[in-house]
Amino acid sequence: MRDLPVVFWLLGVAVVSLVHPFIPAPRWLMIHLLVLGAAGHSILVWSRYFADTLVRLPATPRRAQSQRLLLFNAGVLLVAIGVPGSLWWLVVVGALGIAVAVGWHVGTLIRGLRTGFASRFSSTIWFYIAAGALLLVGVTLGTWLAADPGEPLHTRLQLAHVAVNLLGWIGLTVLGTTVTLGPTMLRTRIVEGAEKHSRQALPVLLGGIALVVAAVWADVVVLVPAGLLLYAAGVALVAWPLGRTAWRKPPVSFPSWSLAAGMVWLVGLLLVLVAQVAWDVSHSGSWLEVGRTFEQYIPYLAAGFVAQVLLGALSYLIPVVLGGGPAAVRATNRDLDAGGALRVSLTNLGLLVCVLPVPSLVRVVASALVLAALAAFVPILLRAIRLRRGAPADARETTPRPHGQTTGLAVVGLALVMTAVAFGGSLDPASLGGPPKSAADGVIATGHTTTVTVEAKDMRFTPARIEVPVGDRLVIRVENTDRTDVHDLVLETGHDTGRLAPGESAVLDVGVVGRNLDGWCSVVGHKQMGMVLAIEAVGSPVAATGPGTPPVADDPGTDAHGTGHDMTMGEPADGTVIPDPVLPPPEPGRVHRHTFTVTEQGMEVAPGITQEMWTYNGSAPGPTLHGRVGDTFVIRLVNEGGLGHSIDFHAGQRAPDKVMVTIPPGESLTYRFTATRAGIWMYHCSSMPMSAHIANGLFGAVVIDPPDLPAADKSYVLVQSEHYYGAEGQPVDMDKLLAEEPDAVVFNGYVNAYDHAPLQVKVGERVRIWLLDAGPNRPLSFHVVGGQFDRTWLEGDWLLGSAEAPSRTGGSQALALAVAQGGFVEMVFDEPGRYPLVNHVMIDAERGAHGVIEVTR
């Protein structure tokens, strides 16, 4: 039970990272498998080992320790299943197991201090005791978080959870251990005063954590940066003697390199957190802003600090504990040091690339290198153990690697990271931009520079007009002061700031200006909402004496789809899945938890036409939710796109400024609502321009059954929407959208979807079709050719027939829906055949709002 669970937890992290698009809460899962699973197990094992060594206790009974480890790992497994699966009772059971195991562990440490011998490093044991006590608090907070308490309490609790678990349970354990482990790894003496610094640091570190928790408890956000700063001061007290030791005896192997790199990431990210959180507090005073900053840097703390310290420590400690004599230990150390310089350089340079504002595909490729470098520990460890068992140590012991080989491996790591950056950029060359064109227009430079600051906020540039003397060099500093939206500034010359997250800024050096220029925000829909910038060259131009600047050709652009392309007659491409129109059954229970992940991805939307669609959980429309009156829905919205997105559920009554807020890329929020009335309710992204976000796929349906709804043999859901095609692989064409000129009108996101996959019904079956018009612009008049409706239900009430029975003599030929309205129709077919279902606004049926009901005996 000592080392094997760590291998399984690390393998779990690797597997989740590879399949993360297909599982719920992958980010949460990766962090907790690493921090709670792998690191937590190692802390229980090795803190007890160090405690026994430092105070010279008798060996810990193996049976009792194995029982603690089994209880702890079982608890972590239950939590890892319960949180993504929204099984709160399982989380409670798992958390209880973790708490009992850690409490038991802390109790043995306290007894050891009382019965062991006095030691100059007894303070290390107090670090372990404090860390364990904090984990008990962290487990309680985590269990509370799993119940989704709603915003802003969720964000506040999450901050406290991170503080006590990551900075407390992990941070205190690492800082207490490195006082002795660091010099031991370097094979040198501990510098004078290291233990004194350690004793002084513990109350400072605890004070910093306590201040963050107090800020959460008292709802005083200004105390958060103060608490982080105090914690950073405690880290400095411990790190200072470690730095002196490393200066005197530099690291020369993977364990010491990895430990040193992990400590550098801890110190560096703490300083960044202090600065960023202080900025958040001073500019917004919002818990949500502070929470987003924490969420941004937690993965880097996990990978840069926790993972590297863990792997470095294990690489050093496992050979020591395996024993077998000095020769065996040296041989196993060398086996675990395989490719050490390469692994360390890949991990740290790759993480550095990920932290920087690089294109998303570059970040993906760099993160893959980091994962490979960290995951390499598992096969290297298994190989070392196999070699240890299979060959005598003397036969495997060799001379140390030459310095040149180590340097060469580090250079190879640098080259691989640079190659990854180039490869990622080549996959998305548009994100790298090209050389901008000159704005000089043949004028002579004056030698003067005009510098202007432009703010991007609320779909406007301020100022929106800039005057520049002809011949001046123009420098524009663009600041995104919006709280939620991503913006950029693109000039007609090709100058581009790149996407700026809230709070970010960039400088555009336009060069010499000799003519008027136009600029705009290139985020979809922002230009049409008014985010334009006019640059006016004022004064008399002075002609250049040379040949001048050649005229700039207009960008020819790219033709969009829709002209001369008969998309209604083709067949879907191989692998295209027509959306399933069957209404899913009502969810069991009264509280329904879901994670909606926003992505921006290419999808076939009509035969031969691929567009970049914005999706909830990879589909447009998003998932259909089905419940009953009185059910509560808890939706965790995660934005993995490149723009700000949001969600608005019509099925619940909530204050828009609380939950319908735009969240930047990489962030998340929890949206809780109770369905108090029946209907088929629309949900959609409410970020501006809303028409673009809906037209590009961010919408879906929530079906809440009326209490007296009779059973039907077949129930289907059709959601009508419109397509406004941009260029191949691009998002919505805003000019077509503003002109209300759709290329297609569709059911469930695909042109003529149910011509290709007809709805299947048998003669005599009662068929119910739920209908929602998501728009954003076109109405729906739903009709089934050759059929008649004997029940219709619109916006919460019966139009024809009743819950008791269909209409006996009356009938309906169409159900008319305006945008965002919904209802259902019912019918029974008397004879087999193919019955077209259409929007009877016939131009829209011909645009793709068409399908077939196939009736058989």
Residues 619/653, Cβ–Cβ less than 8 Å: no
Instruction: List CB contacts of 101: < 8 A, sequence separation 6 or more.
Output: 44, 68, 69, 71, 72, 75
β-sheet bridge partners, residue 636: 595, 670
Three-state DSSP class for residue 826: strand
Three-state DSSP class for residue 468: strand
Q: Which amino acid is at 122?
A: S
Residues 280/159, Cβ–Cβ less than 8 Å: no
β-sheet bridge partners, residue 789: 812
Report long-range pairs for 272-281 (Cβ below 8 Å, ≥24 apart).
272/297, 273/228, 273/297, 274/225, 274/228, 274/229, 274/232, 277/224, 277/225, 277/228, 278/225, 279/503, 280/503, 281/221, 281/222, 281/224, 281/225
Show the tokens assigned to 211.
């201040």
- Report the distance separating Cα 649 and Cα 624, nearest Å: 12
Q: Is the peptide bond between 463 and the residue preceding it cis, with omega within 30 degrees of 0? A: yes
Show the tokens assigned to 311.
């792997």
Residue list for the binding site: 645, 650, 684-685, 693, 840
Residues 151/658, Cβ–Cβ less than 8 Å: yes
Of 442, 452, 592, which is closest to residue 510 (Cα–Cα)?
Answer: 452
Q: Which amino acid is at 817?
A: L
The kind and range of the H/E element at 425 are: helix 403-427
Residue 377 — φ and ψ, nearest 5°? -60, -40
Distance of CA 599 to the CA centre of its chain: 10
Residues 519/491, Cβ–Cβ less than 8 Å: yes
Instruction: Give the number of other CB atoms < 10 A from CB of residue 509.
Output: 12
Show the tokens assigned to 221.
């956000």
- Report the distance separating Cα 386 and Cα 313, nearest Å: 20
Of 384, 373, 255, 388, which is closest to residue 314 (Cα–Cα)?
Answer: 255
For the chain, helix (H) and strand (E) counts, in that order, are: 25, 27
Distance of CA 22 to the CA centre of its chain: 13
- Report the distance separating Cα 405 and Cα 336, nearest Å: 16
Residue list for the binding site for Cu cation: 645, 650, 684-685, 693, 840
Show the tokens assigned to 225.
């940066």
Of 155, 168, 154, 244, which is closest to residue 205 (Cα–Cα)?
Answer: 168
